[in-house]
Amino acid sequence: MSASNFLLANLGAEVAIPPDIREHLALHGERLEHDRAVPRPDEPVALELRGIDLSFGGVVALQGVDLAVRHGEIRAIIGPNGAGKSSLINVISGVYRPDRGHVAIDGRAYRPVPTQKLARLGVARTFQNLALFKGLSVLDNVAAGRAYVGRSNFLSQIAGLPRARREQADARERAGRIIDFLHLTPYADRLAGTLPYGLQKRVELARALAAEPRILLLDEPMAGMTATEKNELADYVRLARDEYAITVVLIEHDIGVVMGLSDRIAVLDYGRKIADGTPQEIASDQRVIDAYLGVPPENEDGEGI
Amino acid sequence: MSAVTADFSLPFSLPRYAGTVAVLAIAYLIVPFVGTSYLFEAILLPFLALSLAGVGLNLLTGYAGQVSLGSAAFMAVGAFAAYNFNLRVDGLPLLVSIVLAGLSAAVIGIVFGLPSLRLRGFYLAVSTLAAQFFVQWALTKFSWFSNDSASGVIDAPVLSLAGISFEGPVGRYFFALTIVAVLTFLSYRLVSSQTGRNFIAVRDNETAARIIGVPVLRTKLLAFAISSFIIGVAGVIWAFAYLRTVEPAGFNLDRSFQILFIVIIGGLASIRGAFFGAALIVVFPLILSRLGAFLLGDVFDSGVLDMTQRIVLGALIILFLILEPDGLVSLWDRLRSRVTAAIRRA
């Protein structure tokens, strides 16, 4: 373990370090990687998929997929285009209803996952194609992540009754903190639709974090980014995990970023899970090399949600 | 989002609502004393009623993203409901009749908003046409609604609120202005609240909105209800303050389109926009007829005028959609910032 990582880990355990300093340390320390504690095998399972089958008409998207994600883990799902990665995230978030199998969140099984209650179950996600509210400011977009908490009705909001005002102030304050954390403060008042792509991706991450989820699903958070932006975002994801103790499920094409970022990796190919293990295990798995690592890079933007 | 201000911003800083206060001050303190009866009857009263209807439709279409072609139907529901509440319940204050009329329109709005839970865009627009046809048919078919008047025409009652009666053009103008000002203010509060942001979230990305926990179905129906409430009250103003006698045929599809055009030309998702759009829609035919009569003399009769109006209006809408999709309101904002910059430089 490098000195600065050691320092960071120790400091983090005892005192609250401002996020920007933490980030600074993380950037300048050796880029973390696997000497950092992989969540122990005895950590409870936060999210579990059992025997998920999904097909569209005759096209099989997922077939008998099992996946167990432990608390506090950064779990990557990789695979070639069309392997079913996004479908998997959509099944977990209830956008798709699986034909067979179920999703268990904190031990409770669902089929399908109730999308409307997702945020209350402690799950937040981002989308492969940007899904921001273009007509709202960055701050309002991030504050929208708190929508599931609101109890006040529109009349009390119009009248500005104490509860409505408290809710609004609370949402904005939490959103403000996340915006600080992800260094989006200069853009807080800009309309989300006017920001460059990389920043919009980060705003989406902020919106998801604002919900204070226990499980965070990231559907290609780095697609279309430059290498620098990717590393930056990877650092943010790691920091968010450490700071808020969340479990992260991440889909990403860039194998380099994934290897450095994740604790464990599941590999999909043609809708089946062909490998599951630590980055080292995955890197040396012959089936993975055949199915994925051996092929040239894909057209990243060419596929739909 | 857009503020309700319609002001000339001065280079030094004023509170954001200064412009609104100025406009209201002019409307309450100056216009009533300098305006002619023609100004009130032909311009300001229809302008106020249509502006309010535009505000209502803008909440639904501009903010919540649900297209509706049933606005005139909701105006009709408001007008006829207010008429009947006022007629059939003795001693009911007019204000209560108006609120009940708005609520009736809201209920009808929710019913015809139910398809929005499944349909979007054009398909939803077509399904809201059902409201348009059904309401007009029901009001014509059942003469109870018009108190068995032979032609289906209803006459407005005397307007009085809290013991003050509003007679004559100026009185009716005050009546309309007050209701419009109050409801516009409440709409502004709404769009800047969490509910208003939920509207925009549903409009911009329904799936994302659902996933972060916005109650999408409830939000859509709420948008229909609130929008119809406001449009219903606009119908009351249209019938009671502006025309004084109306028939169901007055609330036809043309009127629905007119309100939609107001929203598009004025600017979607802008409360000010509804006022800009309504001003254009009301003033433009008058200008056109004056101009036509001046240039062409007798050739420019009412038939030609009507046709010219449609052609020019159609052309305007196409131009707006292409050149200024954000409507008059963004044109105005750009102009204003340019003028402000020029003043600063000078």
* Shortest Cα distance, chain B CAs vs residue A60, angstroms: 23
pLDDT for A36 equals 45
Q: Retrieve residue B271's tokens.
A: 């409360």
Nearest to B195 among A154, A160, A207 (CB): A154
Residue contact A154–B193, C-beta within 8 A:
yes
Residue contact B222–A136, C-beta within 8 A:
no
| pLDDT at position B8 over 60 | no
The DSSP code for B166 is -
pLDDT for B210 equals 93
pLDDT for B15 equals 66
Q: How much is the mean pLDDT over chain A? A: 83
Residue contact B189–A158, C-beta within 8 A:
yes
Between chain A and chain B, the number of residue pairs with CB atoms below 8 A apart is 93
pTM of the model: 0.85
Residue contact A154–B1, C-beta within 8 A:
no
For the segment B209-242, what is each residue's pLDDT rounded down to a tens digit? Answer: 999 999 999 999 999 999 999 999 999 999 999 9
State the residue for tokens 């909440």. Answer: B59
| pLDDT at position A136 over 70 | yes
Q: DSSP 3-state assignment of A211?
A: coil
Between A76 and A293, where is the model more confident?
A: A76
Yes or no: say if B233 and B78 are a contact pair by the CB < 8 Å rule: yes
Q: How far apart are CA A248 and CA A237, in angstroms?
A: 8
- Any idea what the Cα angle at residue A287 is, between residues A282 and A289, rounded to 5°? 65
* Shortest Cα distance, chain A CAs vs residue B172, angstroms: 27
Residue contact A147–B216, C-beta within 8 A:
no
> Chain A residues with CB-CB distance to B under 8 A?
93-95, 115-120, 124-125, 127, 131-136, 140, 143-145, 147-150, 152-154, 157-160, 164, 167-168, 171, 207, 211
| A chain contacts of residue B209, beta-carbon cutoff 8 Å | 133, 144, 147
| pLDDT at position B256 over 90 | yes
Q: How much is the mean pLDDT over chain B? A: 88
The average pLDDT across A107-124 equals: 90
Residue contact B212–A211, C-beta within 8 A:
yes
The average pLDDT across B131-139 equals: 92
Position B181 confidence tier, pLDDT thresholds 50, 70, 90 = very high
Yes or no: say if A181 and A244 are a contact pair by the CB < 8 Å rule: no
Between B65 and B291, where is the model more confident?
A: B65
Residues in chain B: 346
* Chain A interface, best mutation among B1, B185, B187, B197, by max A CB count within 10 A: B197
> Chain B residues with CB-CB distance to A under 8 A?
1, 186, 189-190, 193-195, 197-198, 200-201, 203-205, 207-216, 222, 226, 269
| B chain contacts of residue A95, beta-carbon cutoff 8 Å | 207, 211
| pLDDT at position A31 over 90 | no
| B chain contacts of residue A117, beta-carbon cutoff 8 Å | 213
Nearest to A119 among B207, B213, B216 (CB): B213
What are the helix (H) ranges across chain A?
3-14, 19-28, 85-92, 138-144, 154-159, 162-181, 197-210, 227-244, 255-261, 279-283, 286-288
The residue of chain A nearest to residue B326, with distances taken between CA atoms, is: A135
Residue of B120, B69, B115 lying closest to B231 (CA atoms): B69
On the question of a cis peptide bond just before residue A112, with omega within 30 degrees of 0, the verdict is yes
pLDDT for B303 equals 81
Nearest to A158 among B186, B208, B210 (CB): B186
State the residue for tokens 């119809």. Answer: B228
Beta partners for residue A54, in sequence order: A62
pLDDT for A6 equals 36
| pLDDT at position A9 over 70 | no
Which secondary structure element, helix H or strand E, spans residue A83, and what is its range?
none
Residue contact B195–A93, C-beta within 8 A:
no
Of chain A, the percentage scoring pLDDT greater than 70 comes to 82
| pLDDT at position A77 over 90 | yes
Q: Retrieve residue A213's tokens.
A: 């989820």
Q: Retrieve residue B303's tokens.
A: 């038939």
Nearest to A135 among B193, B200, B226 (CB): B200
* Shortest Cα distance, chain A CAs vs residue B270, angstroms: 11
Q: DSSP 3-state assignment of A71?
A: coil
The average pLDDT across B287-313 equals: 82
For the segment A80-101, what is each residue's pLDDT rounded down to a tens digit? Answer: 888 899 999 999 999 999 999 9
Which secondary structure element, helix H or strand E, spans residue A102, and what is its range?
strand A100-105
User: In this structure, what is the dihedral angle of CA atoms A255, A260, A262, A264, given to the nearest 10 degrees?
Assistant: 80
Residue contact B211–A125, C-beta within 8 A:
yes
| pLDDT at position A34 over 70 | no
Q: Retrieve residue B208's tokens.
A: 């994302």
ipTM of model: 0.82
Yes or no: say if A99 and B169 are a contact pair by the CB < 8 Å rule: no
The residue of chain A nearest to residue B191, with distances taken between CA atoms, is: A158
* Shortest Cα distance, chain A CAs vs residue B66, angstroms: 15
Q: How far apart are CA B182 and CA B202, in angstroms?
A: 26
Establish how many alpha carbons lie within 13 A of residue B146's alpha carbon, considering only the half-sphere containing its beta carbon.
23
Position A8 confidence tier, pLDDT thresholds 50, 70, 90 = very low
Q: How far apart are CA A107 and CA A129, in angstroms?
A: 30
Which residues, in sequence order, are CB contacts of B38 under 8 Å at separation 6+? none
| pLDDT at position B265 over 50 | yes
Q: How far apart are CA A47 and CA A59, in angstroms?
A: 26
Backbone torsions φ then ψ of A73, nearest 5 degrees: -90, 150
Q: How far apart are CA B234 and CA B79, in angstroms?
A: 8
For the segment B99-132, what is each residue's pLDDT rounded down to a tens digit? Answer: 999 999 999 999 999 998 888 888 898 889 999 9
For the segment A223-250, what is each residue's pLDDT rounded down to a tens digit? Answer: 888 888 888 889 999 998 998 889 999 9
| pLDDT at position A67 over 90 | yes
Q: Retrieve residue B33's tokens.
A: 């004393």
The residue of chain A nearest to residue B185, with distances taken between CA atoms, is: A158
Q: Assign residue A266 a region: left if phi > 0, alpha if psi is -120 to 50, beta otherwise?
A: beta
The average pLDDT across B5-23 equals: 64
Residue of A9, A7, A4, A3 lying closest to A242 (CA atoms): A9
The average pLDDT across B182-198 equals: 95
Of A171-175, A200-204, B282-286, where does mean pLDDT reach its minimum? B282-286
Of chain A, the percentage scoring pLDDT greater than 90 comes to 53
Residue contact B204–A133, C-beta within 8 A:
yes
Nearest to B190 among A135, A158, A171 (CB): A158
